[in-house]
Amino acid sequence: MRRLSVIALALAFVALLIGAMLELGPAAVDLRGPVAAHLVQSGVSHTVTAVLLNYRGYDTLLEIAVLLLALLAILAALGDMPDSPTRAAHPVLQTLARLAAPLMIVVAVYLLWAGAFRPGGAFQAGAVLAAAGVLLHLVGLIPGWSLPRLRLRIGLAAGFVVFLTVAALLLMQGALLKYPPDMAGGLILLIESGLTISLALILAGLFLFLSQEEGGS
């Protein structure tokens, strides 16, 4: 009996939610027009990339900062880990990973380049690169990471540093991340390249630093 009443209440709540959804009016501000109107000055021809890196560039700047901070927190919580040997997977798996990794790198570069005029961009490219790293680690071809050395540290921070430098230089002209229209394309590509490298290392690091604990995966 009690179960039935709970189910009835849940169903009533679902009905209420669906009713509320149907009641929703059109969005108060329609931004599709302004976005399309200023696309020529944004330096890219894909609306999503234009919004992410030009109109609302500071959102993306803060996103990469948050990801970097998350990785730093993990490193701080992990402390000093001893190196552990990686277990080699079956040769067939290793060969497959060897074949897949170069393809994934090519796909990542394509996604980065394609971001300017079709779906793609730094986050997707970085995620594919990170997946390649995780794949190579899982089959035992690259070891897990313990303490990041200088080169890795530079790579982890590069995207944020490049983005912040561009933002600071542009700030001197008056507004945060307001690219001059003739340089916008180049600046966005520069920022996205840095972002791709850092995102790949940060996302792969989330896995490769953590799997170092308890003798690797």
Partner 1 sequence: MTLAFDLLLALSLLWSAWRTLTTPRLDRAIVLFIAFGLLMTLAWARLSAPDIGLAEAAIGAGLTGALLLDAYGVLRRRRAES
- Applying CB under 8 A, among 35, 48, 75, 109 the residue interacting with partner 1 is 48
**CA–CA separation, 197 and 122 (whole Å):** 9
Give 45's DSSP letter: S
Q: Check if the beta carbon of residue 211 is closer than 8 Å to that of residue 135.
A: no
- Applying CB under 8 A, among 42, 193, 196, 211 the residue interacting with partner 1 is 211
Pick the closest to residue 197 from 103, 120, 112 (CA basis): 112
- Taking contact as CB under 8 A, which single stretch among the options 14-22, 77-85, 115-123, 183-191 is the one that binds partner 1? 115-123
- Total residues in contact with partner 1, by rule CB under 8 A: 21
User: Please, which residue, 51 or 189, has the CB nearer to partner 1?
Assistant: 51
Pick the closest to residue 196 from 117, 107, 93, 136 (CA basis): 107
- Applying CB under 8 A, among 42, 54, 60, 124 the residue interacting with partner 1 is 124
Q: What is the DSSP string of 114-125?
A: HTTTSS--HHHH
132-171: contacts with partner 1 (CB under 8 A):
134, 138
**φ, ψ dihedrals at 214, nearest 5°:** 60, 35
Instruction: Count CB atoms within 10 A of the CB of residue 190.
Output: 15
| Under rule CB under 8 A, residue 212 binds partner 1 | no
- Applying CB under 8 A, among 116, 130, 136, 162 the residue interacting with partner 1 is 130
Chain positions contacting partner 1, by CB under 8 A: 48, 111, 119-121, 123-124, 127-128, 130-131, 134, 138, 203, 206-207, 210-211, 213-214, 217
